[in-house]
Structure 1
Amino acid sequence: MSLRYGTSYWLDAFPKSRLPVYPRQSGALTVDVAIVGGGFAACASAYAFAAAGIKVALFESHRIGRGSTALSNGLVLQEPGVEYREVEQLYGVRVARRVFQQTHRAALELAGTIRRLRIECSLEPRQLARVALMPDDEKLLRREWQMRKAAGLEAAFLNTRLARGRLKIDRYGALQTRDHASLDPYRACLGFARAAAGRGALVFEQSPVRRVRFGRKSAEIKTERGLVTASSVVIATERASDLFRPLKRHFKTFHRYHVVTSPLPAAVRRELGSESVVVTDTASPPHWIQRLPNGRVICSGADQMQVAVRLQDRARVQRTGQLMYELSTLYPAISGV
């Protein structure tokens, strides 16, 4: 397999002969729910609505799953993207516990649904270890663990000796949690689209939504070739779009970068710790390091504000080079790969 800048690893691995094709929307249509977007969240939502007997239609402007879904790292995390202590400080123990419990449940139910639908997407259970890069970071992680434990949430704290032995990273302690997962996000997205269509959902590709107008009892969705009436509308696009310009200023778009190594020799893989553990750290922005079943490693991070189109090629080269260097500082055995 060739690896190159600006190419999704997951798309590159998918056989071109098996690419599904869905029709364009045209003419008049009435549904209970209209979903704008065709990524993982949109397709999973379409399946949930269709399985509940709700008439739903999905509108993707390009091709199903080939946007931010195919450019993600494929991690399914059982916790929100914030520290527990931050949520507790804002909302109290009861609400914070509930937020983390429901996120945990959602991740487990997602994995269970994928297995039940027999979606072939390399779904594997994973643990997550957040490594402290500095002694003060270790104190914060220990405090995070203590607060989660007091709230009745599952977590384990690894002191420096245990963390270095298990994770093979010469840093400090780590907070470890379980019940996460990794998968091929593109295949998972296609699987949910297929399952949704099998339950009666209408799935449309190359059908950009041009306008959404809300009335007292329904919404009118203008597509490139048709007009759709829906009782409810779900917006599942990868970023705030021009459909709702007044809301755009409330959102910030970030770019995250990923590098995928070539298959690593067995001697190098032995220096990386367990394949079942995804490693992140206390860097800002953090790194996300996971081993793939074929001996490769994918490292994600180097987040920054959205880059102008004319500068994106240069940014990819700079940021992925930065990621590879930072990966080698955490795992020196990878240096030179």
Structure 2
Amino acid sequence: MLTGVSAVDALTTLVRGQKLPVFSHAGLPHLRLATQIAAQATAGGAPFAVIFAGMGLTHADADAVRDTLDARAAAGELTLLINTADDPVIERILTPRLALTVAEDLAFAEGRHVLVVMTDMTSYAEAVREVSAARGEMPGRRAYPGYLYSDLASLYERCGRVRGRPGSVTVLPVLTMPGGDITHPVPDLTGYITEGQIVLSPDLHARGVYPPVDALSSLSRLMRHGAGPGRTRDDHLDLAAQVLAALARARQAAELADLVGPAGLSDVDRRYLDFERAYRSGLVAQEEGARSLAETLRLAWDAVLVLPRSELVLLPDRLLDAYGRPS
């Protein structure tokens, strides 16, 4: 399933039937990213639908979501469920369940591939905590009820495919980590249930990069089942591995530059810093508009080809000759 967002499609590919959360911090553009994905995602020409479940949104955010998804609604591909911050808490608990029930009907009765975007799951978990406290139930970690794990699992595990039936349900939950704490119960428990995560970076956001996806902290555990030869393109997986490896080396070079200064770096280390700039400004930065997979992979090639061929050890010669720099 293509989202049209290069940082996701290239490096943390979303696969039909997967549950892949977005981990964010307060103040980061996670709602903008969620609505962008909901507006431009496709299923490769197959029957498709989007369910957007907003929980605890401000009225301004709710209006922005409606405006962004207007074209998808006009195409008859959108179901929108909005719970604002001043709506009853019990409605916030019902919203994702209603969204997933609609998704299951569209997927397994009508044969569509359905993307369910749910934001913000932290608001949902706080609603569960509030109702639990009102019932006088025994609190668990950070006053959340002890059954929060099974409650979240009862939502996330409703995604997938059914053998013998067309259609699929893919879930993209978005959650903010209070205080940026990834060990907070909501992201912590979500990580045990889901199949990877897309992590947004405050550092990239401070540099003005949108979407601020931290590729080295992000992971799609099903990517190898939905990308590569016969699925996306034969160079996709090897190219993604090379980009991630080069990005890790570039961060080491940046740390070294902070210690000894750029002049003290080797020529190769300076090339890795050039790669990181090309990666950040070319592949990741995407203010608006959907990118095709071909355009996304071209930008990934442009970034890695900043490096000497001797450094591209994860790319076979046949791919370098076909897509990159001939020997």
> Structure 1-normalised TM-score?
0.27
Whichever structure has more helix as a proportion of its residues is 2
> Structure 2-normalised TM-score?
0.27
Whichever structure has more strand as a proportion of its residues is 1
